[in-house]
Each structure stands twice: as structure tokens, then as C-alpha cells.
Amino acid sequence: MTCLWFDDNAEDAVKYYLSVFKKSKRGKTAYYGKGGPGREGSVLTIQFYLEGQEFLALNGGPAFKFSEAVSLIVNCKTQKEVDYYWEKLSRGGTKMQCGWVKDKFDFSWQIVPEMMGDMLTDKNSDRSSRVMDAMMKMNKLDIKKLKAAFD
């Protein structure tokens, strides 16, 4: 299970992520008690699922911030899916190079066509180099252009 540390907006983040991913659901919620560092009765953790993967959102306070050192990859079958997740997850955040976005909570996502791994690890290094070169020139990844570079 992946734990995502938020200052005090874990509930907003979970609602947002559940609205973006079609196959998602909310699980159990734990609340701070009298002895916790958080305000009594406020949300401590929320369990949630995105595309079958389990996560835990934690309201842990301002001690830690997200960085690009950790990101989640969204593998997309079609350009329509790439477009959908690119727009949804970057809304209120930042669109970046090579399929990366930061959402409005400053968490990093990689919006990637499913076939990228195969193209980048192809035994023909010329093909994989062309794909890498094409990708480095893109923000949102374009499947047609990546396939053209590969072929």
C-alpha cells in the first residue's frame, strides 16, 4: 500500500482522485483522538483504491512535501485516455515535459501510453533512441508521433 502524506487536505485529495479515476472507491477513515497531534475528530487517514491499487491518505501536518522523486504512472491504452488523465490531473496544477503533471496537491503523475515501455526497451537501439528523442520534445505524449518515431 502506498501512503500519501498531506498537510491537512487528505479528504479533499481523496475526493478529487476518486472523481478522476473511473475504477475507484473509498475505504475506511480513521480520525484523530484526544491523544493525537491532529485536532480531535479530524481525519487522520483515508483508505482508497484507484484502478484496483490500494492507497492511504494521511493528514500528517506540514513536515513533509511531495517531490518528483515519487510519482504514480497512469498507463493509457489510447490517446483519448492520455488526453483525459493529462487534463484532469493537471487541472489546478502544472503540465510538464515527457508526460509528467503535478496535480493541484503538488503530487506528480506520469501519463504514459502503455506501449512506451516496449518501445523504449526495444532491442533495436535506433528505434528506442528515436522514441526517446521524440518524447523529450513533448509535454503531453502523442501516441501517433511516438509510433511514427518508433517505426
Distances (CA, A) of 72 to 50, 55, 56, 143: 11, 11, 14, 20
> Residue 36: which pLDDT band, with cuts at 50, 70 and 90?
confident
CATH architecture of residue range(s) 71-150: Roll (3.10)
Q: Hey, is 6 helix, strand or coil?
A: strand
The percent of residues above 70 in pLDDT, for the chain, comes to 100
Say how far apart CA 70 and CA 109 lie, in whole Å.
9
pLDDT of residue 114: 96
pLDDT of residue 38: 87
Contact 82, 139 (CB under 8 A): no
Distances (CA, A) of 145 to 10, 43, 89, 91: 37, 45, 22, 24
pLDDT, one tens digit per residue, over 96-148 is 999 999 999 999 999 999 999 999 999 999 999 999 999 999 999 999 999 99
Per-domain residue ranges of the chain: 2-59, 71-150
pTM for the model stands at 0.93
pLDDT of residue 95: 98
pLDDT, one tens digit per residue, over 55-73 is 999 999 999 999 999 999 9
Indicate the average pLDDT of the chain. 96
Contact 149, 131 (CB under 8 A): yes
As separate numbers, helices (DSSP H) first and strands (DSSP E) second, the chain gives 5, 8
Q: Alpha helix (H) ranges present in the chain?
A: 10-20, 79-90, 116-120, 125-136, 143-150
- In CATH, the number for domain 2-59 is 3.30.720.100
- Strand-pair partners of 47: 56
Say how far apart CA 28 and CA 55 lie, in whole Å.
11
